[in-house]
Amino acid sequence: MPIWKAIVLGIIQGAAEFLPVSSSGHLVIVKEILGVDLEGGGIFFDVMLHLGTLLAIFVAFWKDIKRLIVEGVHIVLDIFYNIGMLFGRIVKKDCEYRHVIRSSYRKLVVLIIISTIPTGIIGILLSDIIELANGMILVPGACLLITAMFLFIADAADEGEKRPKEVSYLNAGAVGVAQGFATMPGISRSGTTITACLLCGFEKKFAVKYSFIMSIPAVLGAVVLELKDFGSLHLSNSDVVSCIVATAVAAVVGYLSICFMMSLVRGKKYKYFAIYCAIMGLVAIGYYFV
């Protein structure tokens, strides 16, 4: 694949992953138009593009992510401590248990874990369908229309006030289900999860941040699953270079897109993205039949 095509796909992935317009849907459409064919390495190329946007999330939210990692380790240590106290109480009755979920960041760690579970289950169940859908332009076209509907709903949703301490575990599970179905090409992951967060009463800025951070386990899981088959892939040296270039471009553009999305938190501006998705969906459907 020529470098210029890799750069184009990297720009699309970086922008569309965080703007609520579906990166996967746009990649399918643009690959069809540009005639991109990696001979079996297409899924790997898509995963590497997602790895680029994952790097963008780490850069943009590093302080939050570092704190989540630290608190996650402390949660595990406290759980083992409490297990030890359980046996210690047999001998000594006045042993004190530690309260495990005692801060907003610890609650956020648990919320993200809960959201990841239904996402993983749905992703595995839909894996064959997703692979087939990635090979035809009609499916992402129809799914972009669904994304447009979700974004109109997001614009109409009332302002919520929920931060981590107020968010229920049921809310986290519902957002995880939304993220799971957003693995279909054309259904925007960020648009769908932000809409789900807003419908659950999340505060807008927290809804956007939660949407981006909760994608980390899902993308990491996809990367790990794909990398195990790396040795069986037959990619030329030029394709490998194209993957690296596209990943780097996706990371840079992705970071800029995150900054842009965080600036759009206030105000009802998702309708503009909804109109764009509806137009792109109709264009893709028309292209398929023509």
Asked whether residue 75 carries a pLDDT value surpassing 90, the answer given is yes
pTM of the model: 0.86
Residue 40 has pLDDT above 60, yes or no: no
Going by pLDDT thresholds of 50, 70 and 90, the confidence category of residue 34 is confident
Q: Please tell me the number of Cα atoms within 13 Å of 253 on its side-chain side.
A: 23
pLDDT at res. 27: 83
Counting residues of the chain whose pLDDT is more than 90, the rounded percentage is 49
Distance in angstroms (rounded) separating the CA atoms of residues 172 and 107: 11
Q: Which residue has the higher pLDDT, 169 or 239?
A: 169
* Mean pLDDT of the 175-198 span: 92
Contact between 274 and 148 under an 8 Å Cβ cutoff? The reply is yes
Secondary structure string (H, E, C) spanning the chain: CCHHHHHHHHHHHHHHHHCCCCHHHHHHHHHHHHCCCCCCCHHHHHHHHHHHHHHHHHHHCHHHHHHHHHHHHHHHHHHHHHHHHHHHHHHCCCCCCCCCCCCHHHHHHHHHHHHHHHHHHHHHHCHHHHHHHCCCCHHHHHHHHHHHHHHHHHHHCCCCCECCCCCCHHHHHHHHHHHHHCCCCCCCHHHHHHHHHHHCCECHHHHHHHHHHCHHHHHHHHHHHHHCCHHHCCCCHHHHHHHHHHHHHHHHHHHHHHHHHHHCCCCCCHHHHHHHHHHHHHHHHHHHHC
Domain that holds residue 258: 3-289
Question: Which of 59-73, 81-95, 256-270 is modeled with the greatest confidence?
Answer: 59-73
pLDDT tens column, 98-126: 888 989 999 999 999 999 999 999 988 88
State mean pLDDT over 55-77.
Answer: 94
Mean pLDDT across 165-186: 93
Return d(Cα 96, Cα 265) in angstroms, integer. 43
- Spatial distance between the Cα atoms of 67 and 84, rounded to a whole number of angstroms: 26
Q: Tell me, what amino acid is at 206?
A: F
Residue 91 in this model has a pLDDT that exceeds 60: no
Report the range of poorest mean pLDDT among 88-97, 112-121, 159-168.
88-97
Average pLDDT over residues 166-181: 95
- Give residue 108's pLDDT: 95
Q: 121 near 179, Cβ under 8 Å?
A: no
* The predicted structure's pLDDT at residue 33: 82
Q: Where is pLDDT greater, at 1 or 220?
A: 220
150 close to 189: Cβ distance less than 8 angstroms:
no
Residue pLDDT, tens place only, 198-220:
999 999 889 999 999 999 988 88
Average pLDDT score over the chain: 86
Q: How confident is the model at residue 228 (pLDDT cuts 50, 70, 90)?
A: low
Region 118-144: mean pLDDT is: 85
Count how many domains the chain has: 1
